[in-house]
């Protein structure tokens, strides 16, 4: 996909992996809608950097855990830029929730943001993406394929993102390609302990953690790969083939 003059919406684009994805798209000429909720300062930094480099970008605030927010965000982006070509569903939360301590409030909040929001965003964006013959990239997680005892609801939401990717790819073909990325040890969650981080590194066949740039490379491939849809690429240094879980 030629990104110059395309409009891309990146949710959670003000921090962590979402920030790297937004910067990469903007650096290749896309007009960027940088969504944020609690990371307004980070989104402003991304917009400022892209504009300073000669690009076009604007920040959009929304709490995507609210049922009406995803459709409203898509409307705002299209009203601002006149079109939408690429949707990157990156916004999510990863909270440590040990079994036996998980509350209904925590469960509902995680499902609302991690799974319901990307679905509703995709649904609202679909007519615009069909017109543009655009693409969706959903950010899942290695937790979709492994068992992480301290993060069970998170893993379930990300497994849902993988299945959602397959379904949307079927429904929106041939006009819109829908793919996913499941990062492994790229950026550790803030609540992860030093031991858990060490276990991730030791359990990775390539014997190192990755970087957001590794996820960027996968995203750019999926946007370019015009005969690929319904796939979720695992970017984890080979962790998923090691034969055991932690």
Instruction: Look up residue 97 and give its two tokens.
Output: 């929730």
pLDDT tens per residue, range 24-54: 999 999 999 999 999 999 999 999 999 999 9
Q: Distance (Å, rounded) from C-alpha 166 to C-alpha 231?
A: 7
Predicted confidence band of residue 196 (pLDDT cuts 50, 70, 90): confident
**Which pLDDT score, from 0 to 100, does residue 66 have?**
97
pTM of the full structure: 0.92
Q: Distance (Å, rounded) from C-alpha 91 to C-alpha 10?
A: 8
Q: Is the pLDDT of residue 148 over 90?
A: no
Instruction: Report the b/e string of 163-187 with b at 16+ CB within 10 A.
Output: ebbbebbeebeeebbbbbbbbbbbb
Q: Is there a contact between 178 and 168 (Cβ–Cβ < 8 Å)? A: yes
SS (H, E, C) the chain: CCCCCCEEEECCCCCHHHHHHHHHHHHCCCEEEEEECCCHHHHHHHHHHHHHCCCCEEEEECCCCCCCHHHHHHHHHHHHHCCCCEEEECCCCCCCECCCCCCHHHHHHHHHHHHHHHHHHHHHHHHHHHHHCCEEEEECCHHHCCCCCCEHHHHHHHHHHHHHHHHHHHHHCCCCEEEEEEECCCCCCCCCCHHHHHHHHHCCCCCCCCCHHHHHHHHHHHHHCCCCCCCEEEECCCHHHCCCCC
Region 140-151 average pLDDT: 88
pLDDT tens per residue, range 99-138: 988 899 999 999 999 999 999 999 999 999 999 999 999 9
pLDDT tens per residue, range 70-100: 999 999 999 999 999 999 999 998 888 889 8
Residues facing residue 187 across a β-bridge: none
Instruction: Look up residue 69 and give its two tokens.
Output: 């927010």
Q: Is the pLDDT of residue 218 over 80?
A: yes
Region 61-78 average pLDDT: 98
Q: Interior CA angle at 236 toward 234 and 240, to 5°?
A: 75
Predicted confidence band of residue 189 (pLDDT cuts 50, 70, 90): low
HSE on the CB side for 160, CA within 13 Å? 17
Range with the poorest average pLDDT among 134-138, 182-186, 215-219: 182-186
**Which pLDDT score, from 0 to 100, does residue 244 have?**
47
Instruction: Look up residue 134 and give its two tokens.
Output: 């655009």
Q: Is the pLDDT of residue 190 over 90?
A: no
């Amino acid at each position: 996909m030629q990104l110059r003059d395309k409009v891309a919406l990146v949710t959670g684009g003000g921090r962590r992996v979402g920030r790297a994805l937004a910067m990469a798209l903007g650096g290749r000429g896309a007009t960027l809608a940088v969504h944020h909720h609690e990371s307004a300062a980070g989104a402003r930094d991304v917009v400022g950097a892209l504009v300073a480099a000669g690009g076009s970008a604007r920040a959009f605030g929304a709490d995507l855990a609210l049922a009406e927010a995803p459709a409203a965000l898509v409307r705002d982006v299209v009203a601002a830029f006149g079109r939408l070509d690429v949707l990157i569903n990156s916004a999510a939360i990863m909270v440590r929730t040990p079994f036996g301590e998980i509350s209904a409030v925590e469960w509902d909040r995680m499902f609302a943001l991690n799974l319901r929001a990307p679905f509703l965003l995709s649904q609202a964006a679909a007519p615009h993406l069909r017109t543009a013959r655009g693409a969706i990239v959903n950010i899942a997680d290695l937790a979709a394929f492994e068992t992480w005892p301290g993060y069970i609801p998170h893993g379930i939401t990300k497994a849902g993102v993988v299945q959602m990717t397959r379904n949307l790819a079927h429904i929106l073909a041939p006009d819109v390609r829908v793919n996913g990325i499941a990062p492994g040890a790229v950026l550790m969650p803030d609540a992860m302990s030093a031991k858990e981080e060490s276990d991730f590194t030791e359990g990775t066949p390539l014997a190192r953690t990755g970087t957001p740039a590794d996820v960027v490379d996968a995203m750019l491939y999926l946007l370019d790969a015009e005969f690929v849809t319904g796939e979720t690429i695992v970017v984890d240094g080979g962790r998923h083939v090691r034969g055991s879980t932690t």
